[in-house]
Amino acid sequence: MNLDLRTMMVMIAALSLLFSGLLALAGLHAGSIRGVRQWATGSLLLGLGLAFSYTQLGPPANPWILVLGATLALAGTGFQYYGTRLFKTGYCNAYLPWLVAGAAFAVNSWFVVLHPDIHARVIANSLLFFLINAICAHELFIRMEQPLRTAYWFTGASFSVLAAMFLFRAVVIFLSPDNTYGLYTQIPLNPISFFIGGMAQMAIVFGFVLMLNYRLSADHQRLASTDALTGVMNRRSLELEASRLLARYVRSGETLAVMMIDVDHFKTINDRYGHMVGDEVLRHLTAVAQKSIRTGDYLARYGGEEFCILLPASVERDAWTLAERLRQVFAGSEIEYCGEMLRSTVSIGIADSTHAGLNFVSLLVAADKAMYQAKLAGRNRVSRHSNSVDA
């Protein structure tokens, strides 16, 4: 197989520049997802590094252009690591890619200008590339939910291939006799390593685009299933979860309890203090409810000032204990907004499938009637559906 080194360098440089533009455009629509711009910068620097190196293929070569090309390419890899960390954790030391660029500049200045030694230069650069790509691969081989894990591991595997290629290249050149290696000499190592490196780099960028696509899809799905104001489940996602639970409980015979919560005199709060304060009351209620419920319970904003909690494997007695604790904590806490201090209360109705049946609509109707009874009885209290049934 006859692989022309010059053609491959041009193609890899052009593709890197195109990938940079693609990632920059994707970053405009990535919302709050971090790391995309850093990846675009990394691809840009890689492309420019190869482009500068290409201009020095024929003698006489300008040593400082060679230094610049290697520095840009290594800085591009450093920005890829920077972007990977930001994408994964949202945090990374901003000086890291510049430290990589500084190390690359120092190494190449020494072995190109001050003490020319092509063997040592290629070995040092290959080891630097190996180290950064291996660290990137290590960052991506983590346990996480599908399908994002597939994208992470594909990108990590591509980084691993690139790291292995650079390590192999460094070892081969280290073992070769002095003064026998040249970047543009006709030996199989050069075109093969450039071919593998180019393919791996394309796979890496493709993998990151896949990571970005899955992250955006997950974010959109989360937005569609949560309430924008409070951050808890919305009505649609609660109904889907209830259908899943009830289908299981029909087979197992377990009991499901439902709690309906309504803020007392909420319209009066909005009229007196404004809707911003009303929103703060709802957020405060959400925070209190989240601290009160158990692991495995489901809290949702059902509409307006009404909230609903699903209590799997629970009966009215369990729900009443939790509801009473929630009511007391909320009534006893103060809500501060722009210097204003106010208190609010809630009325809560509870029902379980023992009295209302394993049908979500019936459970909601029963809990809603119990909540209405709590309001008729004076508000700021918990009412059971079974009490009205017994009466």
> For 294-340, what is the HEC assignment?
CCCCEEEEEECCEEEEEEECCCHHHHHHHHHHHHHHHHHCCEEECCE
Residue 259 sits at φ, ψ, to 5 deg, of -125, 125
Angle (deg, nearest 10), helices 316-332 and 275-292? 130
Contact 266, 278 (CB under 8 A): yes
Residue 303 burial (10 A CB sphere; 0-12, 13-18, 19+):
exposed
Report d(CA 327, CA 58) in Å as an integer. 80
Name the active-site residue from 305, 306, 316, 340. Answer: 305
Q: Is 305 in the active site? A: yes
Backbone Cα Rg of the chain: 31
Query: In 3D, which of 318, 312, 315, 309 has the Cα closest to residue 348?
Result: 309
DSSP string, 258-304: EEEEEETTHHHHHHHH-HHHHHHHHHHHHHHHHHHSPTT-EEEEEET
Catalytic residues: 305
